[in-house]
Amino acid sequence: MPRDNNRHHLLIDRACRRIETAETAPDLATLAAEAGLSPWHFQRLFKAAVGISPKRYALAWRRQRLDRALRAASSVTDAIYGAGYAAASAAYRDSQHLGMAPSRLATGGVDEEIRHATTTTSLGPILVAATARGICMVEFGAARTLLAELHRRFPRARIEPADARMRELVRHVAAAIDDSAADPALPLDIRGTAFQVRVWQALTQLASGETISYAELAARVGAPGSARAVARACASNGIAVLVPCHRVVASDGALTGYRWGIARKRRLLRREQAAVKPQTVR
């Protein structure tokens, strides 16, 4: 059985690469034939491993291609057809998952206003950025590079310094990082594929000090067996601590990769778990 599982993972990984590199997404029958499986069996294995069907994976990947193409193309129309869409209407429908319309993405979010501020925390400097809808970025890093990272993520958005509302948000974010008992309930502007958003929203439901394995989180979002896809969604999280991917651990409880470093992950978990540990009555 383990040998079959390894073979199936290789087949699904190969199918994912096939979808990602194809100019036109291959249909289910084609993918299944290339894997040497029946369409029904292939679809079941794919959904168990990735969390969504091959068709939905292809749609999510096409949306990402559209995002990249719009930032580089000379026109919105060229980008839409270059990303593999047969009609502009489909691209505009899909663009709702990207957080802004294609015309705005094409200009790097030129109509999007993002306010930001940096501050120091017990885990190092952070930059907090927010749109009118909520916090869209919390990033650890060297103070001199944080603003450059914000511009890289939102290359042509209108980047403005913090106003009074933003400074209040930053204080709450810093409190959430420094004090595990803090529960700021801050507004978040979470953007990603449908599957990523499901994973991130599930993470926000975890209690302070609670840990969950990638496999358990996959089951919680209704995609049992998609631990690898969950791990990729965690790695794509751009809102540190507030979307608490530091609470996701390996099946044996070991600490695995963390976007902002294993040392920070360990300190966050130790602090949270110490805060919720029952006090001994004397």
| 207 Cβ contact partners less than 8 Å away, ≥ 6 residues apart | 276
Of 10 and 135, the structure prediction assigns the larger pLDDT to 135
Phi, psi of 213 (to 5 degrees): -85, 160
pLDDT in tens, 107-139: 445 567 899 999 999 999 999 999 888 899 999
| 192 Cβ contact partners less than 8 Å away, ≥ 6 residues apart | 97, 200, 233, 236
- The CATH class that applies to domain 2-106 reads mainly alpha
Q: What DSSP designation does 75 have?
A: S
According to DSSP, the β-strands at 113-121 and 158-161 are parallel
| 13 Cβ contact partners less than 8 Å away, ≥ 6 residues apart | none
**Are 249 and 212 contacting, i.e. CB atoms less than 8 angstroms apart?**
yes
pLDDT in tens, 14-41: 888 888 777 777 888 999 999 999 988 8
* Residues 235, 227: Cα–Cα separation, whole Å: 12
Q: Where are the alpha helices (DSSP H) in the chain?
A: 2-21, 28-35, 39-50, 54-72, 76-82, 88-94, 102-106, 143-153, 164-178, 194-204, 214-220, 227-235, 262-276
Task: Write the DSSP assignment of 220-280 as a string of letters.
Answer: HTT-TT-HHHHHHHHHT--BTTTS-GGGEE-TTS-----TT-HHHHHHHHHHHHHHHSPPP
pLDDT in tens, 259-276: 899 999 999 999 888 877
* Residues 246, 264: Cα–Cα separation, whole Å: 8
Per-residue pLDDT, 85: 53
pLDDT in tens, 54-110: 887 777 777 666 665 555 554 555 555 555 555 555 555 554 444 444 444 444 455
Question: Where along the chain do its domains lie?
Answer: 2-106, 113-178, 194-276
**Are 61 and 53 contacting, i.e. CB atoms less than 8 angstroms apart?**
no
| 40 Cβ contact partners less than 8 Å away, ≥ 6 residues apart | none
Q: Could you count the other beta carbons within 10 Å of the beta carbon of residue 42? A: 23
- The CATH class that applies to domain 194-276 reads mainly alpha
Q: Nearest to residue 149, comparing CAs of 136, 164, 165, 134?
A: 136
Domain pair 2-106 / 194-276, same fold:
yes
Q: Is the per-residue pLDDT at 11 higher than 90?
A: no
The CATH number of the domain covering residues in 113-178: 3.30.160.70
* Over residues 207-227, mean pLDDT: 87
Residue corresponding to tokens 């599982």: 5
Active site residues: 245
